[in-house]
Amino acid sequence: METKLHSDILTDRPFSGTAVPVKSSLTNRVQSVVTNNPRITAVLLKNDTVQDIVISSIYIYIYMPLNDRSVAQIAEYESTVGCLTLI
């Protein structure tokens, strides 16, 4: 964080992130999905209330990087999209 503070003008909300609020009654049915990207948060919601039927939904929250057309930003944008294809 210190490096980011001293490196340049801060743009693109550099210290924000994503979160998934989960109702406490659903916590036993929610599983975190590993994304390996701080811009992507995903959870798997299992709905196994009906016997012999398992219905699952995946919820993905993404904070896309600012696309100012610089080489670094384009690389970060492509990396984020690439991580989405792996989920």
Domain that holds residue 55: 16-86
Rounded Cα gap, residues 71 and 48, in angstroms: 46
Q: Quote the distance between the C-alpha of residue 21 and its chain's center.
A: 13
Rounded Cα gap, residues 61 and 19, in angstroms: 7
Give the number of domains in the chain.
1
Contacts 24+ apart (CB under 8 A), 8-16: 11/66, 11/68, 12/65, 12/66, 12/73, 13/63, 16/63
Mean pLDDT value across residues 20-40 = 85
Q: Is 51 a residue whose pLDDT tops 70?
A: no
Q: Is 5 a residue whose pLDDT tops 60?
A: no
pTM for this structure?
0.64
The answer to the question of residue 24 being in a domain is: yes
pLDDT band at 6 (very low <50, low <70, confident <90, very high): low
The answer to the question of residue 10 being in a domain is: no
Contact of 18 with 61, CB cutoff 8 Å: yes
